[in-house]
């Protein structure tokens, strides 16, 4: 029996002249993500991507992985049949047999993209419905709220039979919207930010700041595991790890404690901008949500933004923690995020950070020490590694 995964384009279908580029990026990403599961052939026709497995492919695994690749609005797992009604009927009875035996009501829904097929869609519904009732007389037909829908799609080269769409990843293919650098902490919010921006087609690299010995190796490994968890969505991702201890010690020793956090965050962004520029990444991304903590008040965000002249995307800016947690559970990063390891942001944090910093005061305080040199040094000492799917 030949099964296939059909992916129905969402936004891609609405693209104009460059639609083909989006489709190619989508198929390239699918090929990459499914590589370890087995061999697949891909082609695209009339806003549908066909993902045909070779022999011995674990289809459950393939469907699970495919559901995380951005670009499709819906997907289904379908039986491939010949474009002949007798074959379609026999295959439908076999492929949907178990579900038909268990259901109480059903309907057949037919679509005919190939108008040369000798039967119309209503003909297919009536004929196939009759065959199903013959074999499963306990069933009733319910066209409004059937328990089971047997879909038949007659397309260019084959007919496809399936029992409904599965949730697809949505979004547009990673790599079609430029490249960004995500500030990835070990927390809940930034992995969700990565997911959200990748969904909009951004190819994401990650940067993480560590402060040994105040932060442990295990804390860093936790963040690498978060990165790994994200690879089905992001693809392979480059991970930059910045040694941040000297900067934090200098901040502790030389700037007023209530400005520690804000200037630290400015240093983080400045390093991120340098790494981004060196690697042709066009925007920075953070997991900040306005009002969540002292460093994320409007005033604090204004002061941090001013440190760089590159766009900073904050996809979770308007979300509640509960909404962010919901996504982090769905993408399965939550359990790692809540492991209790220290983050450099919590090293030396003052008891009373300024929630309404004024930019002039912040810029004055920054002049109290040669932070620019430390920023250069930390950038130069940054370690790079590729985290693969």
The CB-of-287 to Mg ion minimum distance in angstroms stands at 7
Does 171 engage in binding with Mg ion (CB under 5 A)? Answer: no
- Sheet with 283-285: strands ordered across: 312-313, 283-285, 179-183, 203-210, 237-243, 383-387
Minimum distance, C-beta of residue 190 to ligand ATP, in the bound complex (Å): 3
Q: Report the residue number, 209 or 260, with the smaller CB distance to ligand ATP.
A: 209
Pick the piece of the chain touching ligand ATP (CB under 6 A) from 1-9, 95-103, 147-155, 343-351: 343-351
Q: In the window 12-71, what residues touch ligand ATP (CB under 6 A)?
A: none
Interaction mask 182-201, Mg ion, x per CB under 5 A: ---x-x--------------
The dihedral formed by the CA atoms of 308, 222, 352 and 252, expressed in degrees to the nearest 10: -70
Cβ atoms of 141 and 181 closer than 8 Å: no
Helix 371-380 × helix 245-254 angle, to 10°: 170
Q: Which is nearer to ligand ATP, 209 or 233 (CB)?
A: 209
CB of 338 to ligand ATP, least distance (A): 10
Which stretch of DSSP H or E encloses residue 244?
none
345 binds ligand ATP (CB under 6 A): yes
Find the radius of gyration of the CA atoms of the chain.
26
183 binds, among Mg ion, ligand ATP, none (CB under 5 to 8 A by kind): ligand ATP
Question: Using CA atoms, how far apart are residues 162 and 8, in angstroms rounded to an integer?
Answer: 14
- What is the x/- site pattern for ligand ATP, positions 295-314, by CB under 6 A? x-------------------
Give alpha helix (H) positions in 255-333: 260-278, 298-305, 321-330
Question: Taking the complex as a whole, how short is the minimal distance between the CB of residue 272 and ligand ATP, in angstroms?
Answer: 8
Rounded CA-CA distance 290/188 in Å is 15
- Asked if 129 touches Mg ion (CB under 5 A), the answer is no
Closer of 155 and 314 to ligand ATP (Cβ): 314
The residue within the footprint of ligand ATP, chosen from 286, 297, 304, 333 (CB under 6 A), is 286
Cβ-based nearer residue to Mg ion, 187 or 353: 187
Stated as kind and residue range, the H or E segment containing 362 is helix 359-366
Within residues 192-211, the interface with ligand ATP by CB under 6 A covers 207-209
* Residue 35 region by backbone torsions, left for phi larger than 0, else alpha for psi between -120 and 50, else beta: alpha
**Contact status, residue 203 vs residue 213, Cβ threshold 8 Å:** no
Decide whether 70 or 209 has the Cβ nearer to ligand ATP.
209
Closer CB to ligand ATP, 209 or 371, in the complex = 209
- Of 75-83, 249-257, 283-291, 300-308, which segment contacts ligand ATP by CB under 6 A? 283-291
122 is written with which tokens?
């209503």
Select from 312, 344, 362, 365 the one that contacts ligand ATP (CB under 6 A).
344
Residue 242: C-alpha distances to residues 202, 349, 382 (Å):
22, 19, 5
- The answer to the question of residue 293 lying near ligand ATP (CB under 6 A) is yes
Q: Under a CB-based contact definition with an 8 Å cutoff, are residues 348 and 215 in contact?
A: no
What's the CA gap between 47 and 177, in Å, rounded? Answer: 20
How are the residues of the chain apportioned to helix, strand and coil, as percentages rounded to the nearest 5? 45, 20, 35
Q: What is the token pair recorded at 179?
A: 């490249």
String marking each residue 143-182 x if it binds ligand ATP according to CB under 6 A: ----------------------------------------
Does residue 243 belong to the site contacting ligand ATP (CB under 6 A)? no
Q: What is the binding site for ligand ATP (CB under 6 A)?
A: 183-185, 187-190, 207-209, 286-288, 292-293, 295, 343-345
| Interacting residues with Mg ion (CB under 5 A) | 185, 187
């Amino acid at each position: 029996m030949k099964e296939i995964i059909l992916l129905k384009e969402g936004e891609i279908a609405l693209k104009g002249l460059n639609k083909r580029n989006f489709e190619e990026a989508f198929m390239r990403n699918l090929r990459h993500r499914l590589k370890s599961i087995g061999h697949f052939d891909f082609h695209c026709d009339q806003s549908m991507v066909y993902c045909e497995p070779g022999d011995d492919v674990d289809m459950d695994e393939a469907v699970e992985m495919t559901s995380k690749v951005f670009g499709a609005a819906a997907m289904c797992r379908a039986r491939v049949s010949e474009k002949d009604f007798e074959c379609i009927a026999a295959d439908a009875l076999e492929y949907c047999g178990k579900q038909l035996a268990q259901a109480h009501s059903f309907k057949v829904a037919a679509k005919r993209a190939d108008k040369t097929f000798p039967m119309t869609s209503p003909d297919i519904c009536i004929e196939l419905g009759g065959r199903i009732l013959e074999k499963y007389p306990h069933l009733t037909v319910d066209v409004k709220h059937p328990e089971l829908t047997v879909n038949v799609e007659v397309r260019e080269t084959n007919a496809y039979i399936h029992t409904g769409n599965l949730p697809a990843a949505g979004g547009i293919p990673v790599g079609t919207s430029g490249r960004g650098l995500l500030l990835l902490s070990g927390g809940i919010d930034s992995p969700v930010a990565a997911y959200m921006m990748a969904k909009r087609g951004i190819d994401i690299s990650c940067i993480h700041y560590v402060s040994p010995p105040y932060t442990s190796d295990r804390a860093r490994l936790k963040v690498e595991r978060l990165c790994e968890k994200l690879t089905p969505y992001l693809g392979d991702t480059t991970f930059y790890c910045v040694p941040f201890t000297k900067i934090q010690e200098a901040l502790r020793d030389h700037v007023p404690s209530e400005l520690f956090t804000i200037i630290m965050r400015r240093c983080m962004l400045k390093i991120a901008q340098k790494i981004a520029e060196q690697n042709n990444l066009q925007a920075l991304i953070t997991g900040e949500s306005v009002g969540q903590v002292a460093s994320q008040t409007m005033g604090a965000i204004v002061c941090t933004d001013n440190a760089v002249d590159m766009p900073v995307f904050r996809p979770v800016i308007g979300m509640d923690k509960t909404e962010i947690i919901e996504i982090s559970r769905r993408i399965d990063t939550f359990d790692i995020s809540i492991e209790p390891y220290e983050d450099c942001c919590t090293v030396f944090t003052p008891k009373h950070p300024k929630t309404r910093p004024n930019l002039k005061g912040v810029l004055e305080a920054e002049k109290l020490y040669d932070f620019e040199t430390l920023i250069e040094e930390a950038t130069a000492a940054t370690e790079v590694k590729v985290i693969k799917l």
